[in-house]
Structures are given as C-alpha cells and as structure tokens.
Amino acid sequence: MSSATFTRPSRGDVLELTIDSLAHGGNGVARREGYVVFVAGGIPGDKVRAEVGKAKKAYAEARAIEILEPSPERVPEFADHPGAPWQVLSYERQLEVKTEQVADALKRIGKLDDIEIEPIVPAVEQWRYRNKLEYSFGTDEQGELVCGFHAPGRWNEIVPMVDCKLASEKSNELREQVLQFCKIERLTAWDRKDHRGFLRNVVIREGRRTGQTQVRLITSPGKFDVDGFIDAVDADGLWWTQTSDLGESTYGGESMLLSGAPQLTEQLNDLDFLISPEAFFQTNTEMAERLYGIAIEFAGLRGSERVFDLYCGIGTIGLNMAARARKVIGLEIIEPAVADALENARINEIVNASFYAGDARLALRELVEKEGKPDLAVIDPPRAGLSQKIVRRIVDAAPARIVYVSCNPTTLAPNAAQLVEAGYKLIKVRPVDMFPQTPHIECVALFEAGPDGVQNPDREA
Ligand SMILES: C[S@@+](CC[C@H](N)C(=O)[O-])C[C@H]1O[C@@H](n2cnc3c(N)ncnc32)[C@H](O)[C@@H]1O
C-alpha cells in the first residue's frame, strides 16, 4: 500500500505493518496514510505480517501472524496463554502503559486536562492471581475432547490448557479432574457451528484465603453420571447448569447444586463473604483488598454519612465501609448477589447496611425517596459504564462525594465529563493493577461537588 496505490484492505489480506502505539483494549496500532489498522499481537516497535479481519471505512482489525522484526520492548513469553497478551511487555512497562491510558482516556474522550493520576498500585502476584476461571470445551484435530480458552479471534477453536498460569495449581487440578471424568464418560463437546453436543463450559472459583473451591459445569440439557462426577471432582461446592441458549455464556440456564456448599466462602480485610455462583466477585482477591482500601481512603468517611453502594454485587465495598459510616445502602441487579449481601451483613454482624435488588437505571429515584439522599455514592458498574440517564439520576441524588470504581477508563471518561459538567470536580484518579499480563485497567476516581452544588445541565422533563 504505497501512497500512489493505497486501497482499503479487505478481509483475508495480509499486510506488512509497523506498530507505533497501543490502543485502549490492548491491540497494537499501525497507520497508513491516515488509515488505522488495529493489530492483535503487535506492540509498539514491532514490524509484523498481519491478516486482516474486519475492514471498515476508517479502520481495520488484523491479527499478527508473523513478527518480522521484534520491538526492542519485547520480552520472552512466560506462558502459552491466550488470556495473557501483554506478557510480551515487561511488567514495569505494562504499568506505565496502563497509567498513560487512564490519562489519555480522560483527556481525549473526557476532555479533562490536568487530572491528578496517582501512581498505579502494582499487583501483589504477576501470575496465578485469578480466583475465577471460565473454560470452554472443544474438540482437537484428532477429535479428542479438550478444555481451555478460545484461540484469539476464533469463536470455534479452543486452545487446550494444561497449566493455566493465571490460576492456582489447585484450580488447574480441578479443571483436569473435570476433563478426565468427561473423557472417561465419553461426553461430547458443544459444537458452536452445529449447535450440538453436551459440554459447554466449566467455571472454577477459589477462595484464596479460605482454600475453598467451587466448580460449575455448564452443559446443554441432558443426562450424565452425576454421582460419578461428584466422586471425581474434589470441590467444596459442585454445581451443574443446563442451558439451551445457542450463544456461549456462563450466565442463565437452570442451575442445581450437586454436592457441598451452595456458596463459596472468602475473606477480605477481616470480613467473611459468601459468594453464590451467579454473583460477581473481584477476580483478584489480593488486589480487591487494595482497591477497596483506596475506595475507603477516597471516601473520607467520618461516621455520619449515608452511603449508596451502587452496583454492589455481594456488598463487598459497602460492608468494608460500614464501620466508618452511619448507614450503607446497596443496590444490585442480580438477586442471588443481593441475598448474599444481606447474609454477608448478618454473618459479619453489620447492622447498619441494607441491600436492595433492582436495576440502577430504574431504581435509583425510588431508593432516594425511601432512604434519603446519599452523602457519598460509590459506583462500580460493569465495563460499559453508566448511561447518561443514570449519571443524571446520580446528579439528582446530589451526593457531596462520588467514588467511582471503574474497570474501563474509556467509559469512565465520558461519565466523568458529564459529572464535571454538572458541577462535580474530578479530584484524583488512582489506577490499580488487578489484571497483570492483560490490557485490562481498573481505577478509582474521586469526585466532589463544588461549592455551588450540582445540577444537570440538560434537565429532563
Ligand atoms: C463490576 S461489578 C461490581 C460489584 C461489587 N461492587 C464488587 O466490587 O464486587 C458490577 C456489578 O453491577 C451489577 N449490575 C450490572 N448491571 C446493573 C444494573 N443495571 N443495575 C444494578 N446492578 C447492575 C452486576 O451484577 C455486578 O454485580
């Protein structure tokens, strides 16, 4: 593609590209006369051959199939693992890039300059830090059953895992027990093209502090030797979910407890937590404690505050703040998580916390009417962030402080811009590395209402 002959690439084209930067989400970026190609598997300084997937008017997506000249920044890979694409960068460089990307998102997307970004908190463990792994079943070229992860960009190809270096040895052992049982029983893998077959996923969770484990097998509707499965898999809680959904998801379906405890027990900052299989729990236990520590520090509670814990999951943040507040009120959409949160308050003898099941998009106004306006709102939404409407609802609730825990700076940024426009000041942001070897970025942001209070600029009728 020289300037004279430049044509937009098409799917399947193979291009020679030099990567000049890293995009949000982790892909390398290469540019040709204003046309951008996002290259999975490329880092700045690499010269690669890359195969084009999606090709649009302004950009294309491609995958590096050969590194022609490696970047001087490349370090040797530690693990053959599709879930650890940034392991080719030194850990120090990963931390730098994550910090830069938080600042870049706030500046470029949020148009927020001169925001104080506090130093990123490095991870305690750079490998084997995940307390939850979701594996997929598939079939290899010999027709053998395998269990592992999707090959990058391949919805129908599963890379078998023998030692997942993001998981503990114990968690790996459980996956092998499940796989061996399924092989002996000659159970078939779900075929993602034909929509046939039994075995879909296995989710393995581990209490890093308690040593407890929970295994959930996800299959198509059918039968198998449940008693044999219970004997074969050495987990503290064993679940079976049957689903007839055509898409691959570990959510939904009909779940039943096969043996052991229904919830996993874990400890965070001296509190006990029960976790149902459907409920969210931060996947890096050690770093969750640090993340919540920063949220507590930013909250600056004095003991008299009413705290809203929005998107509260099993109540972890609110319950960690309860001793410093007058009252904590949590809101969460997944009902079993709310039941866990209530039970978690009870087992920790926390009496100043209430939890409600509801969609933050609809229930926030009602929550304010019932409980009164919050002094502090803690917000910890999924990666998609908050809609403009929810931000308006939060502004209407007028908390003096907002502690926003974000797992995606590119969605934090527009939410932050809207809060600033409404009269909040973005005081500071601190990134926390919950996910070493991956491009995922977590951070905590503190907003404070200005002296003139806050108001929605475009108030809805
Ligand atoms: C990133 S997790 C945070 C959970 C919790 N704060 C923690 O640290 O464990 C986001 C949570 O938001 C919940 N959620 C997603 N959409 C929601 C909605 N519309 N309303 C309320 N909660 C929602 C999810 O079920 C999940 O528990």
Decide: 287 and 434 in contact? Cβ < 8 Å.
yes
Nearest CA to ligand 1 atom 17: 333
Q: Measure the CA–CA gap between 120 and 10, rounded to whole angstroms.
A: 39
Centre of ligand 1 from the C-alpha of residue 200, in Å: 25
Question: Which residue minimizes the CA distance to atom 12 of ligand 1?
Answer: 311
The CATH class given to the 94-124+284-449 domain equals alpha beta
Question: Which atom of ligand 1 is closest in space to residue 292's alpha carbon?
Answer: 8
Q: Per residue, what are the HEC states of the chain?
A: CCCCCCCCCCCCCEEEEECCEECCCCCEEEEECCEEEEEECCCCCCEEEEEEEEECCCEEEEEEEEEEECCCCCCCCCCCCCCCHHHHCCHHHHHHHHHHHHHHHHHHHCCCCCCEECCCECCCCCCCCCCEEEEEEEECCCCCEEEEEECCCCCCCEEECCCCCCCCHHHHHHHHHHHHHHHHCCCCECECCCCECCEEEEEEEECCCCCCEEEEEEECCCCCCHHHHHHHCCCCEEEEEECCCCCCCCCCCEEEEEEECCCEEEEECCEEEEECCCCCCCCCHHHHHHHHHHHHHHHCCCCCCEEEEECCCCCHHHHHHHHHCCEEEEEECCHHHHHHHHHHHHHCCCCCEEEEECCHHHHHHHHHHHHCCCCEEEECCCCCCCCHHHHHHHHHHCCCEEEEEECCHHHHHHHHHHHHHCCEEEEEEEEECCCCCCCCCEEEEEEEECCCCCCCCCCCC
> Which residue from 287, 333, 365 has its CB within 8 A of the most atoms of ligand 1, so it is best to mutate?
333
Cα(316) to centroid of ligand 1, in Å? 11
282 annotated to a ligand binding site: yes
Closest CA to 447 of 379, 372, 389: 379
Q: Which atom of ligand 1 is nearest to the CA of 279?
A: 27
Q: Is 380 annotated as a binding residue?
A: yes
Q: How far is the CA of 329 from the centre of ligand 1 (A)?
A: 14
Active site residue 443: no
Which residue CA neighbors atom 19 of ligand 1 most closely? 359
Share of the chain above pLDDT 90, in %: 90
Sign of CA dihedral 216, 217, 222, 227: negative
pLDDT score at 277:
95
The residue from 147, 164, 182, 407 that is catalytic is 407
- Where along the chain do the CATH 2.40.50.140 domains lie? 14-74
- Nearest ligand 1 atom to alpha carbon 359: 20
pLDDT at 3: 46
User: What is the structure's pLDDT at 2?
Assistant: 43
Please indicate if the annotation marks 396 as binding a ligand: no
pLDDT tens track for 194-241: 899 999 999 999 999 999 999 999 999 999 999 999 999 999 999 999
**Nearest Cα residue to atom 13 of ligand 1:** 311
CATH number of 14-74: 2.40.50.140
Class of domain 132-267: mainly beta
Q: How far apart are CA 99 and CA 120, in angstroms?
A: 6
- Report which ligand 1 atom has the smallest distance to the Cα of 378: 6
| pLDDT at 33 > cutoff 90 | no
Give the CA angle between residues 388, 390, 396 to the nearest 5°: 105
What pLDDT, on a 0 to 100 scale, did the predictor assign at position 83?
A: 94
Tokens matching residue 163: 């030692």
Tokens of 134: 């979701």
- pLDDT score for 1: 43
Separation CA 328–CA 317 (nearest Å): 10
Q: What pLDDT does 247 receive? A: 80
Q: What band does 407 get if pLDDT is binned at 50, 70 and 90?
A: very high
Q: What pLDDT, on a 0 to 100 scale, did the predictor assign at position 7?
A: 79
Q: What is the pLDDT of residues 344-359, one digit of tens each?
A: 999 999 999 999 999 9
| Of the candidate ranges 1-5, 41-45, 53-57, 277-281, the one whose mean pLDDT is the lowest | 1-5
CATH 2.40.50.1070 residue ranges in the chain?
132-267
Indicate which residue's Cα is closest to atom 11 of ligand 1.
311
Give the separation between CA 233 and CA 307, rounded to whole angstroms. Answer: 42
**Centre of ligand 1 from the C-alpha of residue 312, in Å:** 6
Do 199 and 180 touch, CB atoms closer than 8 A?
Answer: no
Q: In this predicted model, what pLDDT tens digit does every residue of 154-195 receive, in sequence order?
A: 788 899 999 999 999 999 999 999 999 999 999 999 998 889
- For CATH 3.40.50.150, the residue range(s) in the chain are 94-124+284-449
Instruction: Give the mutation target among 308, 328, 332 for probing the ligand 1 site: most ligand atoms within 8 A of CB.
Output: 332
pLDDT of 461 above 90? no
Q: How far is CA 461 from CA 50, 417, 456, in A?
A: 51, 22, 12
> Is residue 41 over pLDDT 90?
yes
Q: Report the predicted TM-score, pTM, of the whole model to 2 decimal places.
A: 0.94
Q: What is the mean pLDDT of the chain?
A: 95
- Check whether 6 has a pLDDT greater than 80: no
| Ligand 1, CB cutoff 6 Å, lining residues | 280-282, 311-313, 316-317, 331-334, 337, 359-361, 380-382, 407
Condensed to tens digits (0 to 9), the pLDDT of residues 119-158 reads 999 999 999 999 999 999 999 999 999 999 998 877 888 9
Ligand 1 center to residue 381 CA distance, Å? 5
> For 63-113, how does the pLDDT look when each residue is reduced to its tens digit (9 = 90+)?
999 999 999 999 999 999 999 999 999 999 999 999 999 999 999 999 999
| Burial (0-12, 13-18, 19+ Cβ within 10 Å), 450 | exposed
For the four alpha carbons of 341, 346, 352 and 356, in that order, the dihedral sign comes to positive
Q: How far is the CA of 313 from the centre of ligand 1 (A)?
A: 5
Name the residue of 280, 405, 444 to mutate for ligand 1: max ligand atoms within 8 A of Cβ.
280
**Which band of pLDDT confidence, cut at 50, 70 and 90, is reported for residue 252?**
confident
Predicted local confidence at residue 124, as pLDDT: 97
Closest atom of ligand 1 to 334 CA is 25
